[in-house]
Amino acid sequence: MKRLGWIICCVLGVCQLTAQVGVTGELTKTDIMIGDQVEFRLNIEKTSNAQIEKIDLSPLDSIEGIEVLNVRPMDTISRSPLLLTQQRITLTSFDSGYYYLPKISVTYIQSGIQSTVTTNEIPLTVNTLPVSTDTVRLEPIKDIIEEPVKFQDALPYLAGLAGLIAIIGLIWYYIKKRKQKPEEETPEVRLPAHEVALQKLHDLQKAELWQKGEIKAFQSELTFILREYLEHRFNMRALESTTDEIVADLKHSEIDADWHPKIETILETADLVKFAKAEPPIEIHARAIEETEVFVETTKKIELPPEEEAKPEEEDNV
């Protein structure tokens, strides 16, 4: 019994001694594609009295085809029952093949004694893309892939179409309006000069202006009617001419010479009334309108039927 107890104590003591510092290395993947990244984790497990002296990562740099991208600082993972620390190293490779990550040695001191532990070698396979072995056959050019039609794509065409319709509409409207215009226009009915004059003289008679004492208004209207008649009937510029000019023009007109002094008297009398506040005897007014009426009646242009129009000597009785 005593012997059994002693053996147990020895085994536990040996285990205690061997479990001073433990180092393991592991890869997150052992099979990667070319260019992929893989993490190498270096785990160190030790007791509190063990002191890590050195971690030698240089073997990683020496592997041809493997590149070290990043080395992170040591990180504590757990503290009990032993202190577990971990260092992460990112690796990659651009050459396909089979690799072995070399042993990483960790040097430590415990109870004044320097010792070294190493990790085991870890295999890593770097695969490349599968390459088609049929390199002779040529593939045809692919068809254009058409995108689905959107409303925005059709918008410029729609706007152009609308503009075109508007222009056609405007042209159609303009042509229609132009065609309609002559139909809408009513021919100006111009009454013969004598009819206008006689109507106005009749209205003037009815207004009884001179009888009411408005002799200036009466004479102004009377001379206007007379001058308008001369202008429209004989093509004289009577409305824009003075009495002297009208009298001078009468000599060159087709009006019978007997009428010249009478017209002159009517116009001059009216000028005196209009511009010099003259107040001639009342019979002058009655005589002036009467003579004007007779003048218009006598010199009026008679409209002949179309068949008789060819006889110019009968056109008027001036």
Residue numbers at the binding site for other proteins (CB under 8 A): 220, 237, 239-244, 271, 274-278
Cβ neighbours of 124 (radius 10 Å):
21
- Minimum CB distance to other proteins, residue 230 (Å): 13
Rank residues 243 and 292 by Cβ distance to other proteins and give the closer one. Answer: 243
Report the alpha-carbon angle 27-31-36, nearest 5: 85
Rank residues 124 and 263 by Cβ distance to other proteins and give the closer one. Answer: 263
Q: Quote the CA–CA distance of 41 and 75 in Å, as a whole number.
A: 11
CB 115 within 8 A of CB 54: no
- Minimum CB distance to other proteins, residue 242 (Å): 5
- Minimum CB distance to other proteins, residue 302 (Å): 29
For residue 50, which of 75, 23, 13 has the smallest C-alpha distance? 23
Q: Quote the CA–CA distance of 23 and 108 in Å, as a whole number.
A: 11
Rank residues 119 and 269 by Cβ distance to other proteins and give the closer one. Answer: 269
Helix, strand, coil shares, percent, the chain, to 5: 45, 20, 35
Which pair of tokens denotes residue 235?
A: 């093509």
Rank residues 117 and 238 by Cβ distance to other proteins and give the closer one. Answer: 238
- Minimum CB distance to other proteins, residue 216 (Å): 9
Rank residues 12 and 248 by Cβ distance to other proteins and give the closer one. Answer: 248
Cβ neighbours of 303 (radius 10 Å):
9
For residue 83, which of 47, 111, 119, 42 has the smallest C-alpha distance? 47
- Minimum CB distance to other proteins, residue 159 (Å): 41
- Minimum CB distance to other proteins, residue 270 (Å): 10
Rank residues 125 and 220 by Cβ distance to other proteins and give the closer one. Answer: 220
